[in-house]
Amino acid sequence: MHNIIRRFIDFFYPPFKKLMPLPFFRYLSCGGLNVVFDWLLFALFYNFIIQKQIIDLEFIAFTPHIAALLATFPITLLSGFYLSKFVSFEGSDLRGRVQLFRYLLVVAGCLIINYFCLKLFVDGMQIFPTPAKMITTVFTTIFSYVMQKNYTFEQKKQGKK
């Protein structure tokens, strides 16, 4: 499956060849696909599954936007790892379990950024939840790219032992 996705993304690369290297284009494409998938899932959960209701578990209650975030998180975690490992950063020398552990750490950082940004934008600034999630994505994307490239899926530099 990842070869089909890679070929599909690479098909659209030629017009961008002078602007960016192929690995970065793949990262942006995979990340973009996963972000759109995340937004769609978030809107679906928020509007139709959770129905904009507070989720009360007796011992803790979640506002609808935080409940939607927590519901969509595991799904996009798995799709993002798959795309990152097999399409965006296929050249990493690290073992899969090391990549997964590091990926989980970076994603935990993204989840913390998501939580605080959603609290700030929705609860503090009264921005609607779906646009707030989209704004938050800008911050998490920058953090994620830097960390995934340089930590999770790092590659040995040529000439280095």
Residue 70 is assigned to a structural domain of this protein: yes
pLDDT confidence bin for 161, thresholds 50/70/90: very low
Contact 65, 132 (CB under 8 A): yes
Residue 38 in any domain: the answer is yes
Q: Which residues pair with 61 in a beta bridge?
A: 56
161 belongs to a structural domain:
no
Domain that holds residue 84: 2-152
For the chain, how many structural domains are there in total? Answer: 1
Q: Is residue 158 part of a domain?
A: no
Q: How far is 39 from 75, CA to CA, in rounded Å?
A: 12
Indicate whether 74 belongs to any domain.
Answer: yes
In a domain, 160, yes or no: no
Band of the pLDDT at 158, cuts 50, 70, 90? low
Q: What is the pTM for the complete model shown?
A: 0.75
pLDDT in tens, 66-114: 999 899 989 998 999 999 999 988 878 888 899 999 999 998 998 899 9
